[in-house]
Amino acid sequence: MTKASFTGQPVSRLEGKQKVTGTAKYAAEYEVPDLLYGYVVCSTIAKGTITNIDIDKAMAVDGVVEILTHNNRTKLAWFDIQYADMDAPPGMVLKPLRDTTVHFFGQPVALVLANDYETARYASTLVKIDYESVHADTYLPDHTTKAREPKKGLATALKPPPPPPTGDFEAAFESAPVKASAVYTHGTEHHNPMELFATTTVYEGKGKLTIYDKTQGTINSQVFVANIFGLKFKDVKVLAPFVGGGFGAGLRPQYQLFLCVMASLHMKRNVRVVLERKQMFAFAHRPQSIQSLRFGTTEEGIMMAMNHSTVSETSQYEDYTETVSSWSHKLYPCPNTLFEYKLVPLDVPTPLDMRAPGGSTGMHAIECMMDELAYKLDMDPVALRLKNYAAADPSTGKRYTSKALKECYTKAAAHFGWDRRNPQPGSMTRGNKLVGYGMATGIWDAFQFPSRVAAMLTTEGKIEINNAVTDIGTGTYTIMTQIAADVFGLPMEDIIFNYGNSSYPFSMFQGGSSVTASTSSGIVVAANELKKKILKQIKQAGNTTFGKAKTEDVIFKDSRICLKEDESIYLSFADVIALNKGRAVKATGMGAPHAFKLRKFSKATHSAVFVEVEVDKELKTVTVTRAVSAVAAGRIINPKTARSQILGSMVWGISKALMEETVTDKKAAKYINTNLAEYHIPVHADINDLEVIFADEEDNLINELGVKGVGEIGLVAVPAAIANAIFHATGKRINDLPIHFDKLL
């Protein structure tokens, strides 16, 4: 008999054994015959022009087959098409080897192709390149006077600018009885997923390619390759069944895909290009940002005035935007607001979405500002947030489809022991440590994108689901199998979920905490279509078991299709296949956001994070000793994988607050810590007691299953909670991330 419900159960990852035993294959691990290995040669200047490339010594190395440069590259169909792919963010992906122009340090300028990787790498050191270099600007704080509005286009349409001002901010702030102002900064951060970016291209002949790519969207890569190289979409197949992390770095095609495909078409051979860790620092990153905030309240703590102005970096050749300055007004009502967001073009690669893009940046500043106000008001930080709690979205006046943030505050505070906090900074100690308590609120959008799903009742009585979605380590494969098992009334072992293949029906990239809502809705819609198809087949075969029953009158259960009102009236799946003359029954359905129904609502996930830190009295080193995160994200399909997502985000929040920083050498105009020895991320010894609580949040509006994503919401509040805890421990406000011990000395 089928279990009553798999959704809501803490099912372990179905592919977990493959990953931990090494049988799961990633983009650079597929065995392909007659393979050429490519090694990328990167520029050693940050801005200027290539005046000459000498490849003679490199070509003389035994085993080197070809070296591609701008002088001999394949002619392309669309080198400059701006929106050829479905990038996140949309824009013009830099395509290497286009011409002699160098836009940033580390830009790919040649590709060495050899019979093995080591030979290609060695030969790359013999490629001699002469440049005419000019001054490059890479450090945001030196160039804030150059800030300008983002250029209007598809990017700003999908990530709209901050809302227009309301009331009279300047007058309200000036007259506010209690006010606070501060500048918050954080430098460049890089994604650094465990799996290196890699592409293996299999040349099938006649313009056909099979591509194993490290990507968060197989169809994204497929559309990019087909458009840029002038190929038919159906002749380009992209596979990514296993992805070793992405965090946003794989949302748009990275340059190894472009170079690998170019080389394969040029040589008419199979090619593999794998980037080194240092080369991955020459693309996707979270941009440098400087935020200026001014908040004012009444004597009772009611918000009177809010100003949030952000300046962020972008590249010289493309505007990258984030939603940074708009979040406070989605949380806190205020009659007088002024929100601004500007860009400074620098000689760097275009930044890219990095887990909770804009949100983790903006919420750090907002929630630290709220904490500062709480101390000035002599008010509990939780009480200040509850005093300014909004059931509806203050920025639009629209009611949220669901919002259980109050429950997050209550549950997390009780579990953490917030009532034991002595509010006086520096008053709590433990041995030679100063102890600090801090908290912060989190908010993130509840996205959903269209997703087409193919469902099939196989001749063996199983259900096969096909969708192009990737699983970047979030548990998508597992939870979609759980959902399909419940929808079709089968045990999980009778569900075949195929994914990570651009040949399957459409799915957007995995990003923005959107996939669970998107793909699950597609499964539900496809299931209904399959029920219709099965009923039609039964009736066409002359079987009268269900009489005039409609789709809503039947259910799938225990490998049967039954009447809802009388489950003793049924046909087994085997009966259905027999009635269909031994053939499988197939159907497709498109799950899509309920745009019309939801036009009167706002959609978001919420969280409350409470943190304890210890600060060494002499050394000023900071340790996060424990943290509690309560999350309201609708229906939780799998509490085990969802908890893992939140835990991973909490770890990243600790890393963002205390460790992660890509250091720029202003004179050389390059990043100088392009490795995991000097780009610091947490190890096991850095992480202590982390707890996750899910609020009871029922959302009957947002989509078919009432689900929201949890990938980003676990991160956004953590850095601010840590910074606030450090203030409570030390009495020092440190507004620059990361917070290193030297800032507390």
Distance CA 405, CA 604 (A): 11
How large is the average pLDDT for residues 270-298? 97
Answer whether 159's CB lies under 8 Å from 89's CB.
Answer: yes
> In sequence order, what are the residues at sequence separation of 6 or more whose Cβ sits closer than 8 angstroms to the Cβ of residue 693?
408, 411, 412, 415, 628, 629, 630, 631
Per-residue pLDDT reduced to its tens digit, 597-635: 999 999 999 999 999 999 999 999 999 999 999 999 999
Per-residue tokens: 169: 């901010």
pLDDT at 81: 52
More confident residue, 156 or 497: 497
> In sequence order, what are the residues at sequence separation of 6 or more whose Cβ sits closer than 8 angstroms to the Cβ of residue 76?
95, 228, 229, 230, 262
pLDDT at 94: 80
pLDDT at 3: 44
- Would the pLDDT of 427 be above 90? yes
- Would the pLDDT of 83 be above 50? no
Looking up tokens 């030979």, which residue turns up? 119
What kind and span of H or E run contains 682? none
Is residue 712 annotated as a catalytic residue, yes or no? yes
State the distance between the two ends of the chain, measured CA to CA, in whole angstroms.
65
Per-residue pLDDT reduced to its tens digit, 345-358: 999 999 999 999 99
Per-residue tokens: 154: 């598809």
pLDDT at 79: 56
pLDDT at 595: 85
Task: Report the SS3 class of residue 341.
Answer: strand
Q: pTM above the 0.95 mark?
A: yes
> In sequence order, what are the residues at sequence separation of 6 or more whose Cβ sits closer than 8 angstroms to the Cβ of residue 529?
455, 587, 588, 589
Per-residue pLDDT reduced to its tens digit, 55-74: 999 999 999 999 999 999 98
Distance CA 629, CA 626 (A): 10
Task: Report the SS3 class of residue 507.
Answer: strand
User: Nearest CA to 426 among 20, 670, 146, 728?
Assistant: 728
Task: Report the SS3 class of residue 432.
Answer: coil
Task: Report the SS3 class of residue 213.
Answer: strand
Distance CA 289, CA 6 (A): 43
List the single range of 22-36, 91-105, 387-401, 655-669 with lowest mean pLDDT. 91-105
pLDDT at 227: 86
pLDDT at 458: 98
User: Nearest CA to 213 among 192, 240, 237?
Assistant: 240
Distances (CA, A) of 82 to 340, 508, 714: 27, 19, 34
- Would the pLDDT of 141 be above 80? yes
- Average pLDDT for the chain: 95
What are the two backbone dihedrals, phi and then psi, of residue 207, each rounded to the nearest 5 degrees?
A: 75, 15
Of 15, 372, 612, 712, the active-site residue reads: 712
Give the model's confidence band at 2: pLDDT under 50 very low, under 70 low, under 90 confident, else very high.
very low
Evaluate the CA torsion angle 307, 311, 317, 321 in order and state its sign. negative
What are the two backbone dihedrals, phi and then psi, of residue 38, each rounded to the nearest 5 degrees?
A: -105, 140
pLDDT at 89: 54
Give the model's confidence band at 386: pLDDT under 50 very low, under 70 low, under 90 confident, else very high.
very high
Per-residue tokens: 368: 């630290």
Per-residue pLDDT reduced to its tens digit, 692-713: 999 999 999 999 999 999 999 9
- Would the pLDDT of 12 be above 90? yes
- Would the pLDDT of 717 be above 70? yes
How large is the average pLDDT for residues 484-510? 96
CA trace torsion 367, 369, 370, 374 (10° rounding): 140
Express as a percent the part of the chain with pLDDT over 90: 92
- Would the pLDDT of 140 be above 90? yes
Three-state SS annotation for 538-595: HHHCCCCCCCCCCHHHEEEECCEEEECCCCCCEEEHHHHHHHCCCCCEEEEEEECCCC
Taken as a whole, the chain contains a residue count of 745
How large is the average pLDDT for residues 411-420? 98
Answer whether 331's CB lies under 8 Å from 400's CB.
Answer: no
Per-residue tokens: 487: 């929808």
Distances (CA, A) of 543 to 246, 528, 535, 579, 617: 51, 20, 10, 8, 81
pLDDT at 159: 85
Distance CA 601, CA 392 (A): 9
Looking up tokens 């893992």, which residue turns up? 644
What are the two backbone dihedrals, phi and then psi, of residue 630, each rounded to the nearest 5 degrees?
A: -105, 130
